[in-house]
Amino acid sequence: MSEIVLSESRGRVRVLTLNRPDKLNALDTELTEVLVAWLEEADRDDAVSVVVLTGAGRAFCAGADIDEFQDLTPDHAKRVEHRAQLTMRSHLVFSKMKKPVIAAVRGAAMGGGAGLALACDLVVASENAKFGYPEIKHGILPAIVITNLTRQVGRKAAFELVSTGEPMSAARALVLGAINRVVPDERLMDEAMALAQTLAGHSPEALFAIKQLFHKVADLPLADGLEEGRKANVAMRGFFKA
């Protein structure tokens, strides 16, 4: 696959790096397609337990590449629909994977880039990280990321972020529960890898089962969620280790 996404294995951790630093890793169609392909490949690889997603250079991902917007107009309906489907798939893939994904974020994570970070299971952010949804300032809306954003930070905070377009600091994102940890910039990858290695040190069967159950019950009514938990409780007896 294209070197627009770099892939490196570190033990049972797969590190994927968005590699368009000259464009602040902005998401064009090619980058999005290759990223999804690498995520799906890592999920199939039995040697991988955890994925770390980061960006090359000074930004995680500046959002959609607006240079493509001139070709995404109503008179190119098929192209518009393909890009919309691809964008949706790129945010949905994280919850469909059985392997946990940790975002390691420095600098800008804006628009679709913020959406990617928050779609990951865990987020470690540099002190200089900025998250935001500036689409409204360009006369458009963050259509696909709103659903997950609302689930992450709640209705009031999510509406403020998408309706004002103002960015939030890593410290604010931590308070809202959008991310897990804020660390000095020079420690970003070390901290993300330490967290990944902790997860990778657990039983793969248990780790994968936790993620699958977590995403399954997150939006279920209480009784339905408890029933899924009961099923998992029975199933886990098959791989208990003293």
Q: Write the CB contacts of 38 (distance below 8 Å, at least 6 apart in sequence).
A: 1, 5, 7, 16
Q: Is the pLDDT of residue 140 over 70?
A: yes
Please identify which residue in the block is written with the tokens 């893939």.
93
State residue 75's pLDDT score: 62
Q: How far apart are CA 58 and CA 49, in angstroms?
A: 27
Catalytic-role residue among 135, 160, 186, 205: 135
CA dihedral 153, 13, 2, 71 (to 10 degrees): -10
Q: Could you count the other beta carbons within 10 Å of the beta carbon of residue 75?
A: 6
Per-residue pLDDT of 146-176, as tens digits, reads 999 999 999 999 999 999 999 999 999 999 9
Q: How far apart are CA 92 and CA 148, in angstroms?
A: 9
Q: Which of 45, 37, 12 is nearest to 203 (CA)?
A: 12
Per-residue pLDDT of 172-193, as tens digits, reads 999 999 999 999 999 999 999 9
State residue 55's pLDDT score: 98
Query: Could you tell me the pLDDT band of residue 107, with boundaries at 50, 70 and 90?
Result: very high
Query: Could you tell me the pLDDT band of residue 120, with boundaries at 50, 70 and 90?
Result: very high
Annotated catalytic residue 30: no
Query: Could you tell me the pLDDT band of residue 122, with boundaries at 50, 70 and 90?
Result: very high
State residue 240's pLDDT score: 61
Name the DSSP letter for residue 76.
-
Query: Could you tell me the pLDDT band of residue 226, with boundaries at 50, 70 and 90?
Result: confident
> Count of residues for the chain?
242
Domain 5-199: give its CATH code.
3.90.226.10
Task: Work out the percent of the chain whose per-residue pLDDT is above 90.
Answer: 74
Is the whole-model pTM more than 0.85? yes
State residue 76's pLDDT score: 60
Q: What is the mean pLDDT of residues 213-220?
A: 87
Q: Is the pLDDT of residue 212 over 80?
A: yes
Per-residue pLDDT of 54-77, as tens digits, reads 999 999 999 988 776 666 566 666
State residue 69's pLDDT score: 64
Q: Is the pLDDT of residue 101 over 90?
A: yes
